[in-house]
Amino acid sequence: MARTRRRVRRHVSRVLSPVAAAAALLYFLIDAVFLSAVRTVIRPLARALSRLRIFNALAAWLASLGPYPTLVLFLVPVIILEPVKPVGAYLIATSHLVSGVSLIAIGELLKIVIVERLFHFSRDKLMSIPAFARVYNWAESWLEYFRSQPLWQATFRQLTAIKGMAGRILKRFKAWIEAATART
What pLDDT, on a 0 to 100 scale, did the predictor assign at position 75?
A: 86
- Of the pLDDT bands very low, low, confident and very high (cuts 50, 70, 90), residue 130 is very high
What pLDDT, on a 0 to 100 scale, did the predictor assign at position 153?
A: 87
Cα 132 to Cα 111: distance, rounded to the nearest angstrom: 19
- Of the pLDDT bands very low, low, confident and very high (cuts 50, 70, 90), residue 134 is very high
Cα 9 to Cα 127: distance, rounded to the nearest angstrom: 39
Given a cut of 70, whether residue 36 has pLDDT beyond it is: no
What pLDDT, on a 0 to 100 scale, did the predictor assign at position 163?
A: 81
* Cα dihedral across residues 84, 103, 115, 146: positive or negative: positive
Give me the DSSP letters along 114-165: HHHHHHHHHHHHHHTSHHHHHHHHHHHHHHHHHHTSHHHHHHHHHHHHHHHH
Q: Tell me the pTM.
A: 0.59
Cα 37 to Cα 43: distance, rounded to the nearest angstrom: 12
What amino acid is encoded at 140 in this protein? E
Domain ranges in the chain are 2-128
